[in-house]
Every structure is written in C-alpha cells, then in structure tokens.
C-alpha cells in the first residue's frame, strides 16, 4: 500500500500564492512520474503539472509561467508553487504518483485525497 498526503491548500485572494506539498509513504521502491491534477465543480479532472524522476516537467497551458512543480526524490515528496492565482484556478488539487513497490515490479498509479484551493475575486 502507498499513501499520498497533500497539504497547503486554502483560501487566497486573486493574484496571491500558495504552495502545495504531497508526501508519499508506504511500500515504495521507487517513484517515477509525480503529478498534480485538479478538478473544479462540474468539470473533469485535468493534469496541472507533472515531473519525472529525472526532473523533466510538463504543464497545462493554463498554468505555464505561474506554477512550478518540483520534487525531492530522497523524501518522496512533490510540491506545486502556485503564483498569480486566478479564480479559475479554484478546484480540488490531487497528488498522483506512479510507484514501483518492488525491484523490477510493475508501475501502479496512486492518488491522494485532494486539497481544496479557493481563489477569491
């Protein structure tokens, strides 16, 4: 079993900043891709940003230049620095990790329970 625990969500004003963190624990041999997704009310869950174990990143067009994803492989953590927040960024943000639990074992995706981010206008 793998657990992902997010923290750092909250209420912020238009133009403000928040930093989300996610810590993975449990039966982990290695973590490949880690990512942040979000889901706004009435909308599908969407990828916000992802980062590979080697540090390659990708971002949704809507957050490029405002959000920065980073990770600490030694601590099995991933962070999302969110600047210049807009009301349309309001959503539940979910951490995702693609985990190998044993040497040469298969990769499996795991999700956190989510953290609410609300940007007021």
Q: Which of 71, 94, 68 is nearest to 82 (CA)?
A: 68
pLDDT confidence of residue 104: 87
Q: How many residues does the chain have?
A: 121
pLDDT confidence of residue 70: 98
Distance between CA 29 and CA 99 in Å, rounded?
Answer: 8
DSSP string, 52-121: -TT--EEE-GGGTTTEEEEEETTTTEEEEEE-S--GGG-EEEEEEEEEE-STT--EEEEE---EEEEEE-
The tens place of each residue's pLDDT in the chain, 121 residues long, gives: 999 999 999 999 999 999 999 999 999 999 999 999 999 999 999 999 999 999 999 999 999 999 999 999 999 999 999 999 999 999 999 999 999 998 888 999 999 999 999 999 9
Edge-to-edge strands, sheet with 18-26 = 2-7, 18-26, 77-82, 67-72
pLDDT confidence of residue 83: 98
The SS3 assignment for 28 reads: coil
């Amino acid at each position: 079993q793998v657990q992902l625990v997010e923290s750092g969500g909250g209420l912020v004003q238009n133009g403000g900043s928040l930093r989300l963190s996610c810590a993975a624990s449990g039966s982990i041999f290695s973590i490949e891709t880690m990512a942040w997704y979000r889901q706004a009310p009435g909308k599908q869950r969407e990828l916000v940003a992802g980062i590979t174990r080697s540090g390659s990143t990708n971002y949704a067009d809507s957050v490029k230049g405002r959000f920065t994803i980073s990770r600490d492989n030694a601590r099995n953590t991933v962070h999302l620095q969110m600047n210049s927040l807009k009301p349309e960024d309001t959503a539940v943000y979910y951490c995702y990790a693609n985990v190998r639990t044993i040497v040469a074992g298969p990769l499996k995706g795991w999700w956190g329970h989510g953290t609410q981010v609300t940007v007021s206008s």
